[in-house]
Amino acid sequence: MAKPAPFRPLEDYYGEQAFAPELSLSPVNGLTTTHDGQLISDLLISAYDAPVQINHRVEMRNCHVLYRDAAGVLVNSGGSRSQFRDVITYCSALPNPIAALSARYGFELDNADAVVIERLRNNGGSGGLVADNCFNLQLRRLAVHNPFSSSSGAAILLRDCYSSYLRDYGILSSLTTSFAQSGLLLEDCHGINVQRGFVDGNNSVTGWAIEARDSDMCIVEDGQVAHFGGGVAATGNSKNTRFEKIHARDSHVVGQGGRSAPAIKAAFYRGDDTEATVFDRCTYFDLNVGTTALAGTAVCSIADVTQKELPDAQLQ
């Protein structure tokens, strides 16, 4: 078996982004598109009270969006086939591990199909991206720092989505100031392909670094998870879920950031009602005492879940 690659910096997944917005906007009621074909470019947008609302097929590039009380960018069905490249979203609201927060993602996609997002960086908020009931999404190089949704959601959440892919993603969360429920969550999805990424840091009691919940025919491959209570999981009524070449390391079994201890302490887990879950060429290293490498009671095909002895040079 080939050695798992060391953790890569978040910038490797995101790519370089060196631009200075040429114009600053502070719209009182948010910014809304008016017709197909519009180009939104080189702007610093302060959308504290209302989102940048995409109602048409447009292109946004080289923009920095500041948000607080709502989403940063909201794309609805009219925004299908829109393209977004080199966008930074930053939430100015403070994290709160106790109070339930309303959803405020950097990007929210609602019934928007064939949307392309490439090189997105988000800091804070409920997470970087949530997509509801979307088809044929193309998501590349997404970087999410310190999301703080306290009760549900995920840093990257695909819900009721079909035939889409996510490639080259990085989720980096502090165990003391980030309070996301999960890192990457595929909920009620079908035919999602996830490749090349990492989730570093998750202090949730019931969440997971990577989770497929009530999903079918999804594959997650070439990933790494670290500093977690619950690692990689298929839960709910998930069927035909496949995890390939996922490397897990550095777990914790006690509460972090003021939270209780994780409910299920496992690097890899398959729920009781899942079917045909496969862990193929998955490895683990340096799990805390009390963390189970593979847990769950459902019928599961275990092609390979093994402990991997890595030289110190690999553990960066």
User: Does position 107 have pLDDT exceeding 90, yes or no?
Assistant: yes
Distance, in Å, from the CA atom of 66 to the CA atom of 212, rounded to the nearest integer, reads 30
Kindly report the pTM of this predicted structure: 0.89
**Contacts of 173 by beta carbon, 8 Å cutoff, 6+ apart:** 145, 146, 147, 155, 180, 183, 199, 200, 201, 202, 203
Which pLDDT score is estimated for 4? 47
Kindly list the distances between the CA atom of residue 312 and the CA atoms of 78, 194, 198, 309, in Å, as whole numbers in the listed order.
51, 28, 19, 9
Distance, in Å, from the CA atom of 278 to the CA atom of 19, rounded to the nearest integer, reads 43
Tokens of 10: 């978040």
Tens of pLDDT, residue by residue over 268-308, are: 999 888 988 889 889 888 888 888 888 875 445 555 566 65
Can you name the residues that pair with 200 across neighbouring β-strands?
172, 226
Tokens of 214: 């009530």
Q: Average pLDDT of the chain? A: 85
Which pLDDT score is estimated for 27? 75
Distance, in Å, from the CA atom of 248 to the CA atom of 287, rounded to the nearest integer, reads 8
Can you name the residues that pair with 131 across neighbouring β-strands?
109, 158
pLDDT band at 309 (very low <50, low <70, confident <90, very high): very low
* 14: Cα within 13 Å, side-chain hemisphere: 20
| Spatial CA neighbour of 234 closest among 222, 252, 246, 226 | 246
Total Cβ atoms within 10 A of residue 26: 12
156, 127 Cβ separation under 8 angstroms: yes
pLDDT band at 30 (very low <50, low <70, confident <90, very high): confident
User: Does position 228 have pLDDT exceeding 70, yes or no?
Assistant: yes
Distance, in Å, from the CA atom of 173 to the CA atom of 145, rounded to the nearest integer, reads 6
H or E stretch covering 164:
strand 162-172
Kindly list the distances between the CA atom of residue 241 and the CA atoms of 165, 201, 276, 289, in Å, as whole numbers in the listed order.
15, 23, 7, 28
Distance, in Å, from the CA atom of 51 to the CA atom of 106, rounded to the nearest integer, reads 9
Total Cβ atoms within 10 A of residue 16: 8
Q: How far is CA 24 from the centre of its chain?
A: 29
Distance, in Å, from the CA atom of 195 to the CA atom of 215, rounded to the nearest integer, reads 17
Return the percentage of the chain with pLDDT > 90, whole number: 54
| b/e burial code for range 187-200 (CB count within 10 A of at least 16 → b) | bbbbbbebbbbbbb
Tens of pLDDT, residue by residue over 239-269, are: 999 999 999 999 999 988 888 889 989 999 9
Q: Tokens 């490639």 — which residue?
A: 167
Distance, in Å, from the CA atom of 153 to the CA atom of 147, rounded to the nearest integer, reads 10
Does the CA dihedral 113-202-169-74 come out positive or negative?
A: positive
User: Does position 316 have pLDDT exceeding 60, yes or no?
Assistant: no
Q: Residue 196: left if φ>0, alpha if ψ -120 to 50, beta else—which one?
A: left
